Amino acid sequence: MSCSSNKTNSNEDFTFAVAFVNGSCRLCEKCNVEKGICIHSNMARIPEHAVGINRKKTAAESGMPLEFPIKGQPEPMSILLID
């Protein structure tokens, strides 16, 4: 979803829109990063904590508090930032 949302936002003149995912990027079965080049660089999503976003604090301030330890299957989340 974050890839399609990000593309839609770019098409709507939100050129500074960026989406992040929890965990690592999951586009490829085996990541090509060892060779130094992402083969899906226009679709790859990095985790928000890699750029200093505090997911727990951001979620709480948005009315979606996260509780740790997580019980059962964690709820997938992504963050879309639009300037």
pLDDT tens per residue across span 10-44: 456 777 888 888 777 778 888 877 777 888 878 87
Under DSSP, the state recorded for 75 is P
pLDDT computed for residue 61 by the predictor: 93
Residue 47: give the domain boundaries.
2-81
Of 3-7, 12-16, 43-47, 52-56, the poorest mean pLDDT is in 3-7
For 77, half-sphere exposure in the C-beta direction (CA atoms, 13 angstrom radius) is: 16
Report the C-alpha gap between 11 and 38 in whole angstroms: 23
Sequence-distant (≥ 6) Cβ neighbours of residue 76 within 8 angstroms? 22
Q: Tell me how far CA of residue 18 lies from CA of 10, 14, 38, 69, in angstroms.
A: 9, 9, 17, 28
Q: How many domains does the chain have?
A: 1
Report the C-alpha gap between 71 and 31 in whole angstroms: 29
Q: How confident is residue 5, by pLDDT bands cut at 50, 70 and 90? A: very low
Q: What is the mean pLDDT of the chain?
A: 78
